[in-house]
Amino acid sequence: MTNNFNKMRFFFFLAMLVVLINTTSVDAYYTGRKPENGIIYVELGSVDQKYRNSWTSAFVNWSERNSYRSIRYRSGSSNLMTAQYDSSRPNAYGRIVYNNSSSKYTTPFRTYLNTYRSQIVNNSNVRISTASHEIGHALGLADLEDSSHSIMNTKRDRTTLIYATSRDISRVNAQ
Ligand SMILES: [Zn+2]
């Protein structure tokens, strides 16, 4: 009896811990990293024009609306936005890789649209939505796995929600 009660208490505690960890990490910044500077300079990879156009559309939209951090194009920058066929991550629409694994900064980074996914190849809204999302990571935002109206929501409809929302802009500006 006591043993069962203790077991129950233990599992209840465990369940609360899981809930706590999930709710506190939801709005946290991605891996605790932020961009090193207020302005992030980016370079486009030598890939098909449609991928370059999608990245451009995404970063122009971010830079026109952010006041605290900005993102601009500069040839030769080590922050690369590109496309890659990555069948080892079949569920990923895109990915950002931080070049410096021990740094507290997001920069320098390499981010790509995953051309393994047919929607990335065939649907420009899905490409822009993914590019906007990855830039959100570059700006220091974490994934959101709730139902928020946010480009960082991993369950968003990528065919309609393609740019940062006002919530995303204020999250970046609040850093
Ligand atoms: Zn993400």
d(CA 111, ligand 1 centre) in Å: 11
Q: What integer pLDDT is reported at residue 7 of this predicted model?
A: 75
pLDDT at 91 over 80: yes
Q: How far is the CA of 134 from the centre of ligand 1 (A)?
A: 6
CATH, residue 78 = 3.40.390.10
Q: How far apart are CA 35 and CA 23, in angstroms?
A: 24
Q: In this structure, which amino acid lies at residue 12?
A: F
Distance from C-alpha of 110 to C-alpha of 117, rounded to nearest angstrom? 19
The answer on pLDDT for 14 being more than 90 is no
| Angle between helical axes of 49-65 and 124-138 (0-180°, round to 10) | 50
Q: What is the pLDDT of residue 75?
A: 95
Contact (CB, 8 A) for 52 and 44: yes
Q: Output the pLDDT for position 16.
A: 58
> Which of 8-12, 52-56, 110-114, 145-149 has the least mean pLDDT?
8-12
Q: Residue 40 carries which side chain, given as an amino acid letter? A: I
Give the chain's mean pLDDT.
87
Distance 44 CA to ligand 1 centre (A): 20
- Concatenating the DSSP letter of every residue in 61-123 gives HHHHH-SSSEEEE-TT-S-EEEEE--TTSTT-SEEEEES-TT-SB--SEEEEEETTSHHHHH-
pLDDT over 70, % of the chain: 85
> Which of 68, 25, 55, 65 lies closest to 172 in space, CA to CA?
68
Instruction: Label residue 9 by pLDDT band (50, 70, 90).
Output: confident
Domain, as residue range, for 45:
2-173
Question: How many A from CA of 154 to the centre of ligand 1?
Answer: 7
Residue bearing tokens 């220091």: 140
Cα-to-centroid distance, 11 and ligand 1 (Å)? 31
**Ligand 1 center from residue 130 Cα (angstroms):** 9
- Lowest mean pLDDT: which of 2-16, 44-58, 66-80? 2-16
Mean pLDDT of 90-113: 92
Indicate the pLDDT class of residue 25, thresholds 50, 70 and 90. very low
56: exposed, middle or buried (C-beta count within 10 Å: 0-12, 13-18, 19+)?
middle
pLDDT tens digits for range 28-44: 345 678 888 889 999 99
- What pLDDT is stored for residue 26 in this prediction? 31
Number of structural domains found in the chain: 1
CA of 143 to the centre of ligand 1 (A): 5
Joined tokens for residue 115: 């051309």
Rounded to an integer, what is the distance from CA 60 to the centroid of its chain?
16
- Position 30 scores a pLDDT of 55
